[in-house]
Structure 1
Amino acid sequence: MKKKKWYSLLAVVVIALLLFTACTPAETTATESASASTEAQASTEASGEESAPASASTEAAAGEVHEIYQLMPKLSLAGIVNPYVEDRADLDKAWPKEPAAEGTLKIGWTEINQSSDWFIAVKNSAEEKAKEYGYELEFLIAEDDPQTQSQHIDTFITQGVDIIVVDPVNSSAPVADINRAVEAGIPVLCVGAVPENCAALTTLCSNTFMNGYLTGQYMAEQFAADEEISATMIVGVMGSSCTESRLCGAVSGILKQRMEAKGTPYASDEDAWLAGYNLFEEIKSNGKGGSDEAGFQVTGYGTGDWTIEGGLAAAEDLCTANAGMNLMISENDFMAAGALKALTSANMKDQVKIGSVADGTREGLDLIKSGDLLCTGLNSGIEQGEWAIDFIHAIFEEGKDCSDLPLESLFTPGVISKENVDEMYDESIGFYKTQEFQFPQSIPELKAENQ
């Protein structure tokens, strides 16, 4: 995508963000949002690569596209749209499908857990939306166990539901189960975490890399062009695609803004992504890394397990070892809240700015309103639950075409900051103001937009 085109897309995102509002968080025990908790089983993805949502075309293999696309799939690049993704129209996905019983639509949903306010919001919002449409929804909890999730899918096949929703416990475990359901004539919609290549209609999920890319740019804008940024990072768990793509996106965004501020911009967003990817890999391998040219250094990172308590513990260690830092990048709002406590205790609150990449919780927005947090990104459990049911309504009752969707259908990314927090704030819910559902783009539409 060319740079001017990316600017126009960012402008569209900013305008869209001004149309909605925000917010409430979880308790101190709350864990990370959907895909992060989904992929906390980092051992299943510890190689640093995961199967592509849809394989890259032979054009990429032939070296005719930017290097960043040739690197895909990578955990740390999840969320970058590959304009050379192969069509899926000819893949049997058990679609089209008519409800088994006239006037009734039966949905079977297997969810990872209910261990945090994020997952609770997914369940509650899905049930409310299904009730609104008059659908029958059976919502089962896998308790982080792939075998239990497999049994759920078998149960739904035996029941003959009209469609199955799967939030994968990990990327590989449910693939055979999904394909088995499709072979039985039942379409499958995934949410939250993208499974390895399979016959699901698509996966509805937040755009982790681009949320990082946008929030990273915003964080960097808070520093003068000649001011060195000495940063630390608090991550959920390295080895999770959610963690790695969010932080890789943030590093890429910071590099992009810094190089622009210094008058030596990258030729394209792809170049910024590639530079960010290389720097993130250095940080991941060595525990630190930086760019003298951009005036940006990451001097350390800590693991916070997506919780307030984890963020507090990680930040305490980082404060001790990095007395000269002036920026702390947190993967999510919960860890940022813990980090703020550590900075306050260490008398470093005035010295160190904190930015969050996700989730847009009410607690995160409260911290933005008070001036204690620079920003956060979009990732609402309410949207995840509601929009899955909206998608099902769209394909069964509104005639929407789901025959050639990518395996990864990404929600619009965005930044919440002091500039728009008031417009996005809503005291009645746990996240930013819920947006209107938009049916995902097909592969041909994505190709036309991005080439």
Structure 2
Amino acid sequence: MRRYLRIAATGVTAIALASALAACGEAGGGDDEEEGGGGAQSGTIGILLPDDVTTRYDTFDYPFFEEKVAELCPDCTVEYSNASNDTNQQKQQFDALLAEGADVIVLDPVDASATATWVEDAAAEDVPVVAYDRLAEGPIASYVSYDNERVGELQGETLLDSLGDDADGARVVMINGSPTDPNAALFKSGALSVLEGTTEIVFEQDVEGWEASIANQEMGAAIDSLGADGFDGVYVANDGMAAGVVNALQSAGVTDVPVGGQDAELAALQRIIAGDQTFTIFKGYKPQAEAAAEMAVNLMRGEELGDVAPDTVDSPTDDAIPSAILDPVAVTVDNIAENLIDGGYYTVDEICTEEYAQACQDAGIG
């Protein structure tokens, strides 16, 4: 698979994009038009998210997306489905949106390599597809995600920081994300760019579907293979799997081993406060969802994407896709309040339940 590239958009690209979007607006969806504007002012926007093992999608991504669409297009309808980690189910959901006359589809694929023909079918019906979080293959109209190699770099850097003076020569277990998710390879690449040459990777395994139960099994296998004292830190690609990893460590009586994650899930924040997980990577759900909503509404109306897509990326099937690539943040116990509470994602009461009240007090949260 070709590595995805990020380059600055040029004036020529912007002009070509404007023309393409205008053509899309003339052919596409809704039937209410602003006088002289030439673009649909209302319509149906579908959003398809990949799984329910990662809590962010139903809790944050979809609600923020729906709220922003309602702000930008009060008369628009949003149709939402979650694929529950099933590519065939997501294909059915995609086809259903096309059959029902959706004007734009926002797609976060279970398996990005499976989507090329889906997106081609949508393009044949003049329905633009926005790739969300994961870079779907096929002629997508735009893409929004975080700098996923930078996510991996932050994971590696924060793990090294957590190891402190013991980082040089540290033995690291890597529990990577699903091979069907193109972001997982980027997280891994970014992390290795930091860890290689400083640490020794003593055990590594990809986890199909990002399943916590499989991560738990793989961490158990690592402990069986290496011994309880055969590793110094654990890189975990996301927080859901980190839960399984922490459980395996606790079951084996392994303590004081830094464990990382990603997604800033509520349970992960509580584990960080309790000292069971060391860090997570926060990718602000709201700016990502709002950017996708703005892209979808603009595409539906045949308008330029403008500042909402200042970057471009290449996929394995298409080049120079208009994109918004956002910046992630590493979160430890020291900045949970700043990033997640002050940012309005969680309240103190949600994080500092009775079980975590004393840990929150010790951490200065609450």
Relative to 1, partners in 2 of residues 1:300 and 1:420: Cα closer, same or farther, differing over 3 Å?
A: same
- Aligned residue in 1 for 2:232: 326
Determine whether 1:138 maps to 2:82.
no
- Aligned residue in 2 for 1:220: 160
Deviations 1:319-340 (A, max 9, x none): 2222321111111112222222
Contact 1:206 1:378 in 2 (8 A): no
Q: TM-score, normalised by structure 1?
A: 0.59
One-letter amino acid of the counterpart of residue 331, structure 1: A
Q: Secondary structure at the match of 2:341?
A: coil
Contact 2:135 2:182 in 1 (8 A): no
- Aligned pairs for 1:40-439 (under 5 A) are 49=1, 73-74=2-3, 78=4, 81=6, 87=13, 90=16, 94-96=20-22, 97=25, 100-102=31-33, 104-116=41-53, 117-121=55-59, 122-133=61-72, 134=74, 135-141=76-82, 156-157=97-98, 160-196=101-137, 198-222=138-162, 223-224=164-165, 227-238=168-179, 240-255=181-196, 291=197, 294=198, 296-305=199-208, 306-322=210-226, 323-350=229-256, 352-356=257-261, 358-379=262-283, 384-393=288-297, 396=301, 400-401=305-306, 405-406=312-313, 407=321, 408-426=323-341, 429=345
Q: What is the CA–CA distance in structure 2 between the aligned matches of 1:226 and 1:92, rounded to whole Å?
A: 50
Deviations 1:59-105 (A, max 9, x none): xxxxxxxxxxxxxx24xxx5x63579995864798512275313742
Q: CA deviation at 1:232?
A: 0.7
Contact 1:361 1:430 in 2 (8 A): no
Relative to 1, partners in 2 of residues 1:251 and 1:203: Cα closer, same or farther, differing over 3 Å?
A: same
Structure having greater relative contact order (Cα 8 Å, sep ≥ 6): 1
Q: 5+ residue gaps in structure 2?
A: 35-40, 314-320, 349-366
Contact 1:212 1:248 in 2 (8 A): yes
Q: What is the CA–CA distance in structure 2 between the aligned matches of 1:240 and 1:159, rounded to whole Å?
A: 28
Q: TM-score, normalised by structure 2?
A: 0.72
Identity across the alignment (%): 21
Q: Secondary structure at the match of 1:367?
A: helix
Contact 2:116 2:136 in 1 (8 A): yes
Q: What is the CA–CA distance in structure 1 between the aligned matches of 2:265 and 2:312, rounded to whole Å?
A: 29
Relative to 1, partners in 2 of residues 1:430 and 1:321: Cα closer, same or farther, differing over 3 Å?
A: farther
Relative to 1, partners in 2 of residues 1:159 and 1:353: Cα closer, same or farther, differing over 3 Å?
A: closer
One-letter amino acid of the counterpart of residue 102, structure 1: E
Q: CA deviation at 1:424?
A: 1.6
Q: CA RMSD in A?
A: 3.7
Q: 5+ residue gaps in structure 1?
A: 1-48, 50-72, 256-290, 433-451
Q: What is the CA–CA distance in structure 1 between the aligned matches of 2:220 and 2:167, rounded to whole Å?
A: 28
Deviations 1:332-356 (A, max 9, x none): 1122222222222222212x22122
Q: What is the CA–CA distance in structure 2 between the aligned matches of 1:398 and 1:345, rounded to whole Å?
A: 55
Contact 1:93 1:200 in 2 (8 A): no
Q: What is the CA–CA distance in structure 1 between the aligned matches of 2:266 and 2:297, rounded to whole Å?
A: 29
Q: What is the CA–CA distance in structure 2 between the aligned matches of 1:397 and 1:180, rounded to whole Å?
A: 19
Q: What is the CA–CA distance in structure 2 between the aligned matches of 1:95 and 1:370, rounded to whole Å?
A: 50
Q: CA deviation at 1:217?
A: 1.2
Q: Secondary structure at the match of 1:324?
A: coil
Q: CA deviation at 1:231?
A: 0.8
Deviations 1:127-164 (A, max 9, x none): 33333441221224556565665565555556554433
